Amino acid sequence: MPYAIIRTAGKQYRVEPGKVLRVPSIAAEAGSEITFDEVLVSSDGSTVRAGAPLLDGARVTGEIVRHGLDRKIVVFKFKRRKNYARKQGHRQGFTEVRIRDISVA
């Protein structure tokens, strides 16, 4: 089974064709095509190619499925005996990408 390890938004993800991946928000419309050029490792099932640090000419293409907000996390700051407590919520935005093709030149 072919797979690749890509880097986007400062994070690394293992991707396979047909899988849906959740990455931090990307400024593009749902349904549009996206290309990831930062491919670190690629495999076709029998051989593994690793870049130093990137593979030249390798790319992963995908389709943006949807945008959304992740579940809420609570940020709570507290200092004991100082009458200090702050509670704040945050929902991180994400983009779901369906991986179409992994090509290594």
Q: Where are the domains of the chain?
A: 3-103
Residues in the chain: 105
Among candidates 53, 58, 61, which has minimal Cα distance to 43? Answer: 58
Nearest CA among 4, 92, 103 for reference residue 48? 4
Q: Is the pLDDT of residue 1 over 90?
A: no
Quick one: tokens of 7? Answer: 């880097």
E strand residue ranges, the chain: 3-8, 11-15, 20-24, 33-36, 39-43, 48-50, 59-69, 73-79, 84-90, 93-103
pLDDT tens profile 7-61: 999 999 999 999 999 999 999 999 999 999 999 999 998 999 999 999 999 999 9
